[in-house]
Chain A
């Protein structure tokens, strides 16, 4: 029950907050007039504010626990809203149409700035979906993911600089370079597990960045490479605005391709092997799954998408230097996957859009924006630890009486 006890606790919390913030919020020394101002009304406001926030926090936690208990007892009768939308055609068809229309008109109705940040968000969708293969499906914690992203970006920048190759030529080359680097790194490190793997990949990410920063003859060092051309369309001259809109649609296309491929992979033999590997390695070996090859393929596939996204990134910013490929980027991409929901394609898309667009739209709050951003992350992880959209368990449909033929997912061989 939610009663007096909670109110008392919230009250004590508010008292504690009033005490804590007293020196900075209430007292102000006016150095000009040499007087001390006492701003008691602020203390009052903090008291009320923290009381309600604390109460809300407790209330939500309580609700969540109640929900958990119900779920444990199997008492949940209503399917969560997101599942319901995904399952019933009368919900998801209009939703799908709305999303399509929005995506199509977006660059024409919103400003150039909006389109640009949307392109950035879409790049993160691709990298997120790529990392989702490694972290979400295969369960390999990769903290150096941005290295492959850098490989892709520099592939385009350097191939263009030296040989004048265009965006569309380099796109597959960049993906291929990612693949090669993924395999190169994968071979030595995939014997490691969990934390150790994370540390090694972290190191690898830093090595790539440091090499790019210091090998002046090769990568032009910290000054980077400028004047990288945007993607071309049969050599047509485009204004900045047109080029951005074109890039936006290129991104939409690439995102759709990525979603398609990732979903197919997920349902394939190799996808099932990844998921099984995440759950139990010994059992996997006992089932005849080649552990090394499966891990390596997950790693390489993830790196491929990073390489591709890197090419797009270079084309979008037209200038790259090693500062774009720091550990922070890896962490953001990892946050996209974890916050969105590990192993869920829609979740990762949501995660990318939230994590990348939120800080942009929070610019209005200027100096508080990272604070709000952090608070959102904490609240999300407390109340929805599985991510915004936790991956849906595959449901087997049976018609008639059991034992029936299960609609086996084996119908999509890899």
Chain B
């Protein structure tokens, strides 16, 4: 579904991604783990076109998208849950969800999707008139995920959904991620620091180190791998 071929991305003169190649097939949950500054978020930003790669190819459904504008990439069905949630703090929960459906014009479908979201996260239904900024961290993360789902993505990119959340909430979020994948057949590309959690829900995983993919395997194999265990699981 999505294929990254030898992506090189720069911030000014600093090379953040040195030859990254990743492949994601339809219906999978793929996770990308690695230490701080390994280039995980940059990979997502490159896919989205917010920080386009300087060289290499990104193919989505066989079509190159690396030169497209971010809004056109979203309209293809790639949607991001940005790092640190980045909900709209002064818009209400309902308005935030509306923004997620910005590119859609099918009103009835949108309504149905909103109801689905409220079923998925009943707490958001309760708080739909509350400004996004007044929600707790966990609720904000749920809102950020919901907002992305409102775009009806075929591929959902998630950047550290567990950032700054209590373990119990993290568990809940990961359950939801799994649910989204199985119920909607949404392909999910998950970038995580919490390697343990991420590898448990994912089918396959990539390990990143200083701008390069250093390892790739099935999630189960990675969980069992000694190096990974030592470096990222702290066991």
CB proximity of A284 to chain B, nearest CB, Å = 8
Given contacts A290-B69, A405-B111, contact A394 B92 (CB under 8 A): yes
Contact residues in A for B115 (Cβ distance below 8 Å): 403, 405
Question: Which residues of B, 38-85, contact A by the 8 Å Cβ criterion?
Answer: 48, 50, 69-71, 73-75, 79-82
Contact of B90 among A273, A279, A402 (CB under 8 A): A279
> Measuring CB to CB, which residues of chain B are less than 8 angstroms from any residue of chain A?
48, 50, 69-71, 73-75, 79-82, 86-92, 94-95, 98-103, 105, 107, 110-111, 114-115, 118-119, 125-126, 128-129, 131, 147-148, 151
Contact residues in A for B75 (Cβ distance below 8 Å): 288
A240 to B215, CA, bound (A): 84
A275 to B95, CA, bound (A): 10
A285 to B69, CA, bound (A): 9
A183 within 8 A of B: no
A402 & B82 in contact (Cβ 8 Å cutoff): no
Stretch from A15-23, A151-159, A406-414 that touches the partner: A406-414
A282 within 8 A of B: yes
A403 & B102 in contact (Cβ 8 Å cutoff): no
Given contacts A283-B82, A286-B80, A288-B74, contact A408 B98 (CB under 8 A): yes
A269 within 8 A of B: yes
A406 to B98, CA, bound (A): 11
A287 within 8 A of B: yes
CB proximity of A328 to chain B, nearest CB, Å = 31
B91 & A279 in contact (Cβ 8 Å cutoff): yes
Contact residues in A for B151 (Cβ distance below 8 Å): 287-288
A402 to B124, CA, bound (A): 11
Contact residues in A for B131 (Cβ distance below 8 Å): 393
Question: How many inter-chain contacts with C-beta < 8 Å in the A-B complex?
Answer: 103
Given contacts A290-B69, A290-B71, A402-B125, contact A272 B99 (CB under 8 A): yes
CB proximity of B207 to chain A, nearest CB, Å = 25
A272 & B98 in contact (Cβ 8 Å cutoff): yes
A289 within 8 A of B: yes
A36 within 8 A of B: no
A276 within 8 A of B: yes
Contact of B86 among A275, A286, A405 (CB under 8 A): A286
Measured CB to CB, the nearest residue on chain A to B116 is: A403
A218 within 8 A of B: no
Among A405, A410, A413, the most chain B Cβ lie within 10 Å of the Cβ of A410
Measured CB to CB, the nearest residue on chain B to A278 is: B90
Contact residues in A for B91 (Cβ distance below 8 Å): 275-276, 279
A367 within 8 A of B: no
Contact residues in A for B105 (Cβ distance below 8 Å): 413
A406 & B94 in contact (Cβ 8 Å cutoff): yes
A280 within 8 A of B: yes
> Measuring CB to CB, which residues of chain A are less than 8 angstroms from any residue of chain B?
269, 272-273, 275-276, 279-280, 282-291, 393-396, 402-403, 405-406, 408-411, 413
- What are 11 A-B pairs at a CB distance below 8 A? A275-B91, A276-B88, A279-B88, A280-B87, A285-B70, A288-B70, A290-B69, A394-B92, A394-B95, A406-B94, A408-B111
Contact of B98 among A280, A286, A402, A409 (CB under 8 A): A409
Contact of B74 among A272, A273, A287, A393 (CB under 8 A): A287
Given contacts A282-B86, A396-B92, A405-B111, contact A288 B129 (CB under 8 A): no
B71 & A403 in contact (Cβ 8 Å cutoff): no
CB proximity of B133 to chain A, nearest CB, Å = 9
Measured CB to CB, the nearest residue on chain B to A343 is: B90
Given contacts A283-B87, A285-B70, contact A396 B129 (CB under 8 A): yes
B148 & A410 in contact (Cβ 8 Å cutoff): no
CB proximity of B178 to chain A, nearest CB, Å = 22
A395 & B71 in contact (Cβ 8 Å cutoff): no
A287 to B104, CA, bound (A): 11
Among B71, B94, B107, B110, the most chain A Cβ lie within 10 Å of the Cβ of B71
Contact residues in B for A282 (Cβ distance below 8 Å): 50, 82, 86
Contact residues in B for A280 (Cβ distance below 8 Å): 86-89
Identify 8 new A-B residue pairs, CB closer than 8 A, beyond the known A405-B115, A410-B107.
Answer: A272-B98, A272-B99, A279-B88, A282-B86, A287-B74, A289-B99, A396-B94, A406-B114
A410 & B110 in contact (Cβ 8 Å cutoff): yes
Contact residues in A for B48 (Cβ distance below 8 Å): 285-286
Contact residues in A for B88 (Cβ distance below 8 Å): 275-276, 279-280, 283
CB proximity of A299 to chain B, nearest CB, Å = 18
Among B80, B95, B119, the most chain A Cβ lie within 10 Å of the Cβ of B95
Among A280, A284, A287, A396, the most chain B Cβ lie within 10 Å of the Cβ of A287
CB proximity of A217 to chain B, nearest CB, Å = 43
CB proximity of A287 to chain B, nearest CB, Å = 5
Contact residues in A for B92 (Cβ distance below 8 Å): 393-394, 396
A403 to B118, CA, bound (A): 7
